Structure 1
Amino acid sequence: MSVEPLSWATLVTEWTLAPLPLVVTVWAVGLYALGVRALTRRGDRWPIGRSIAWGVGMLAFYLATSSGVAAYDTVLLSVHMAQHMVLSMVVPLSLALGAPVTLALRTLPKSPRGWLLAVLHSRVARVLSFPPLAFLLYVISPWALYFTGWYDASLSNAYVHEMMHVHLVTVGALFFWPIVGVDPLPGRVAHPFRVLLTVLTLPFHAFLGVTIMGQSALIGGDHYPSLHDGPMGSWLPDPRADQELAGGILWGAGDLVGIVFFVVLFVQWVRASMKEAEREDRRLDRLERQARPSE
């Protein structure tokens, strides 16, 4: 394996047409567009912000798994770590804000809609979307990835590598989807608890990042040193320095995305409170109108 020195240009020229990401992206974007079109044709409205969020999520997924990022994710641990953060945080958060389940429930025929509702109300869905369990999976998963043989296996086995990407998105979705609360999923909790779970993720990312930066053992074993000693050694950074950069990316990106998510939740909380206040005002107005004839 040999690639050109990493640059903004090579992130474009080293593009790969990986089959799985391409098929997933085309089908996900196509089906979502068909759903929005079906709503529009019958005169219903679908928020443009949700469509944009879905598009951003799928674009981020495809770029992270097929652009030059994918070409360098086994060459530089720092590039892999940037990919990790996109797949585990940016993609799930964006897709959750796209509300695809709500769109499906509003556009699917009766039988498929019934199947989807059965899945949403199943015991498996309730267990997987249970917020404390989803939180534990989300914070423990990176430790299992980098401190077991899992990551080493992903560097030498293409299938394990692809499944790692799927795992990152899936675990991120299990955590973010109920907390975002746009879709009618089991596991949704009150806004204060959503904010609490978000805040709790920040120190876990920071601690893992600092641990990776400070540990003496190299993640990936001899993989990165062997690349450094090979033909690409003229431009590859020292594996130790690159691992320190990777830990810094995990720390900084985790805090940055976490803060953005916190802002999203806060805005949702304020809007929900305003809607609740409006409903209460309408209820009190109805009671007042009902009481007037008897006065």
Structure 2
Amino acid sequence: MNDLAPGPLTTAGWFTSWRFDVVGVVLALLLLVPYLWLLVQARRRGVRWPWWRIAAYLVLGVGTLLYVTCGVVGVYRQTFLWMFAAQVGVIGTVTPVGLAVGDPLRLLAAARGTKDTVVHRALQSRLGRLLTFPAVSFLLDLAGILAIFFTPYGDHAVRSSVIGTLLILQLLVVGLLYVLPTLGDDLLPEWATPPIRTFLAFLDGVADAVPGILVMTANSFLLPHFPGFSHAADALRGGLSHTMDQKYAGGALLAVAESIGVPMIAAVFIEWMRTDAEEARAADAELDRAETERAVTAATPSAAVDATDGLDDDEPATDQPWWLTDPRLADRFGKRDD
């Protein structure tokens, strides 16, 4: 498939260049409709979902997916290699982070009133735990992006609708396999504490920079059959050489990776603070409960009886301690009056 842009890229084109992309629209609807339905179900159960999670899911998640498939990036993905690289970077990195910040798994549990759902069981299965294990999902993510630019996979994906669709699904699924456990709960082993997840988010930001650096410094054309390198595209490229286009492609990968790296680390850090706050509240509640039990026990009549057990009721009151006035103990201390 050769679907070059209808005209040269202009400043206004960043906002006005749009096309209907079936894959992008269908995927957006598949992500959007169930999430909105879960929001309604959760609200019926009395759960008010945080607005910032909804905004992240809609804008950073679904919104970026639509923009890079139907917006200017999708329009020029076959004209400029750096646009294609930007699409790869956004779908593989930015969109999964936005979806994960929306916390669809916890929303599903809130809407159903239980974590025993098909999705949760699938992720907790042996295969699910294997795929979401940090080392496995990290390697899948890195190897997938490298394969796009250093094997014929990328060349075929940019020219074939079927392979291009598979590429988008691969980027989205593999990205979610890494990001969802990092930003969520119960998907990582017990040793993956919030500090460890913060480190994993930092490591992901560093690793995502590797493909961009390799593409930027490559000495040969990585996608020699890219449609934008044909003579038919010369009039649309504004004089941009193929070599510089490839360097810009590496820069686009690097810029996208680093732009989402800091927000992802911040999101994990906020989750860390939230977890610590919940643990602190639970500890305070337990201490308050124990203190209340001790106060109730000390105030019961039985405690008062135990404290005065064995004292002679006819013995006059005295200011001396009870262990000096008790007939059974006075001899031991040598303080009893004859």
TM-score, reference length from structure 2: 0.78
**1:58 shift after superposition:** 0.7
Contact 1:39 1:107 in 2 (8 A): yes
Instruction: Report the Cα distance in structure 2 between the residues aligned to 1:192 and 1:40, rounded to whole angstroms.
Output: 32
2:197: which partner in 1? Answer: 194
2:256: which partner in 1? Answer: 253
1:242: which partner in 2? Answer: 245
* Cα 1:205/1:116, change in 2 over 3 Å: closer
Matches within 5 A, 1:123-142: 123-142=126-145
1:73 is paired with a residue of what secondary structure?
Answer: coil
2:320: which partner in 1? Answer: none
1:151: which partner in 2? Answer: 154
Instruction: Report the Cα distance in structure 1 between the residues aligned to 2:274 and 2:116, rounded to whole angstroms.
Output: 29
37-46 or 192-201: which moved more? 37-46
Q: CA RMSD in A?
A: 2.5
* Cα 1:197/1:109, change in 2 over 3 Å: closer
Instruction: Report the Cα distance in structure 2 between the residues aligned to 1:85 and 1:92, rounded to whole angstroms.
Output: 11
2:68: which partner in 1? Answer: 64
1:93: which partner in 2? Answer: 97
Percent identity, please.
26
2:214: which partner in 1? Answer: 211
Structure 2 residue ranges without an equivalent (≥5): 304-338
The code of the aligned residue for 1:26 comes to L
Matched, 1:52 2:55: yes
Instruction: Report the Cα distance in structure 1 between the residues aligned to 2:228 and 2:237, rounded to whole angstroms.
Output: 13
Instruction: Report the Cα distance in structure 2 between the residues aligned to 1:97 and 1:205, rounded to whole angstroms.
Output: 19
From 263, 267, 270, the counterpart of 1:264: 267
Structure 1 residue ranges without an equivalent (≥5): none
* Cα 1:283/1:2, change in 2 over 3 Å: closer
**1:115 shift after superposition:** 3.1
Contact 2:105 2:120 in 1 (8 A): no
245-254 or 172-181: which moved more? 245-254
The code of the aligned residue for 1:151 comes to G
Instruction: Report the Cα distance in structure 1 between the residues aligned to 2:203 and 2:102, rounded to whole angstroms.
Output: 24
Instruction: Report the Cα distance in structure 2 between the residues aligned to 1:204 and 1:113, rounded to whole angstroms.
Output: 34
2:164: which partner in 1? Answer: 161
* Cα 1:15/1:140, change in 2 over 3 Å: same
1:81: which partner in 2? Answer: 85
Instruction: Report the Cα distance in structure 2 between the residues aligned to 1:227 and 1:82, rounded to whole angstroms.
Output: 20
* Cα 1:45/1:84, change in 2 over 3 Å: same
2:230 is paired with a residue of what secondary structure?
Answer: helix
Contact 1:2 1:232 in 2 (8 A): no
Instruction: Report the Cα distance in structure 2 between the residues aligned to 1:114 and 1:26, rounded to whole angstroms.
Output: 22
Aligned length in residues: 293
Contact 1:152 1:220 in 2 (8 A): yes
From 266, 283, 286, the counterpart of 2:286: 283
Which has the larger share of helix? 1
1:31: which partner in 2? Answer: 34
In our comparison, the structure showing a higher alpha carbon Rg is 2
54-63 or 27-36: which moved more? 27-36
Contact 2:62 2:95 in 1 (8 A): yes
